[in-house]
Amino acid sequence: MTAYAHPQPMPRLNLLTTTRHCLTLGGRNLLHLKGNPGEILGFAVVQPLMVIALLVYVFGGAIAGDTQTYLQYALPGLLVQSSVTSVLATGTGLHQDISNGLFDRLRSLPIARIAPLIGHLIGTMVRVSAGLLMLLVVGAVQGFEVRVGIWSALGGMLLVALFAAGLAWLSMLVGLAARSATTVHMFSGVLAVPLTFCSNVFVKTDTMPGWLQTWADINPISQEATALRALMSGGPVGNSVWWTLGWTVVMTAVFAPLSIRAYRRQV
């Protein structure tokens, strides 16, 4: 009679090993860019040029009187909008990997269970940071001026990245809970429109109807754009930085545990 040994559970991994696994899978999420130079060119060069050309040079004169004035106002808002739209795509990639069975294959490997989820977050934040940098460089070439110290401007960029990381947890939760990729796409589009267009990203809120102005003023995207303008171009900061940090903490505290719970049910 043959005796079969019961499979032994994988030993608990330490923090250093878990971090290494997360970084490895974060790099895996960026490898497809290396094999697709056209995507890198479009993402890093063509997209920033098109955004600035269409929004600043087409609408700038009509909105602000001249394109240079509007560029100085709009570019911080465009940085915020770019980070929001990019990070909302996180759920799509996550849902695709689950549907393709990638997470099932990773589960059979001796890696930290949370590594695939955190790897997606790391890969997203690298892409978001690269997009912000390229958009800022293109804007500077077109004439945008950082009118405050370099550390203040870097602090503003860090603030945008932190907010994007908090919002990424919401996108990942939708990607884990949705039953189809279409649902994830629809959620990203429906959420991005009221957040970015009903805000002060593109125009000041003074000319909006009263009810819309009320929403635009309390919109977290407006608070973030106001904070970034103050940190990069000067002007009153007010409580916008604290509001942005507060929203980041709230989104992370609420959606990160929910995402992790949904992820554990999936895998």
Residue 145 burial (C-beta neighbours within 10 Å; 0-12, 13-18, 19+): middle
Q: Looking at residues 80-105, what average pLDDT do you find?
A: 81
Q: How many domains does the chain have?
A: 1
Whether 33 has a pLDDT exceeding 70, the answer reads no
* Banded model confidence at residue 245, pLDDT cuts 50, 70, 90: very high
Residue ranges in 178-239 assigned as alpha helix (H): 181-196, 210-218, 220-233
Q: Identify whether 119 is part of a domain.
A: yes
Please name which of 24, 94, 102 lies closest in space to residue 260, comparing C-alpha atoms.
94
pLDDT tier, 6 (very low <50, low <70, confident <90, very high otherwise): very low
For residue 223, tell me if it sits in a domain.
Answer: yes
Share of the chain above pLDDT 90, in %: 21
The stretch 245-249 carries a mean pLDDT of 95
**pTM, two decimal places:** 0.85
- Residue 251: per-residue pLDDT: 94
**Of the ranges 24-33, 84-93, 125-134, 236-245, which one carries the lowest mean pLDDT score?**
24-33
Compute the mean pLDDT over every residue in the chain, rounded to the nearest whole number.
82
Mean pLDDT of the 235-247 span: 88
pLDDT, average across residues 171-188: 84
Q: What angle do CA 162, 166, 171 make, to 5 degrees?
A: 135
Per-residue model confidence (pLDDT) at position 252: 94
Residue 81 has pLDDT above 60, yes or no: yes
Query: Is 149 a member of any domain?
Result: yes
CA pair distance 86, 77, nearest whole angstrom: 14
Q: Is-contact 33 123, C-beta < 8 A?
A: no
Residue 103: give the domain boundaries: 15-27+34-266
Q: Is the pLDDT of residue 7 over 60?
A: no
pLDDT of residue 255: 94
- Is the pLDDT confidence value at 226 over 60? yes
CA distance 134 to 43: 9
Q: How confident is the model at residue 42 (pLDDT cuts 50, 70, 90)?
A: low
| pLDDT for 157 | 92
Position 149 scores a pLDDT of 83
User: What is the model's pLDDT at position 192?
Assistant: 82
Distances (CA, A) of 243 to 40, 57, 138, 167, 240: 34, 31, 29, 14, 5
pLDDT computed for residue 34 by the predictor:
66
Say which range, 40-44, 86-90, 110-114, has the weakest mean pLDDT: 40-44
Higher pLDDT, 178 or 41: 178
Residue 1 pLDDT > 50, yes or no?
no
Largest CA distance in the chain: 89
- If one counts every other C-beta atom within 10 angstroms of the C-beta of residue 191, the result is 17
Question: Cβ of 99: how many Cβ atoms within 10 Å?
Answer: 13
Q: Is residue 246 part of a domain?
A: yes
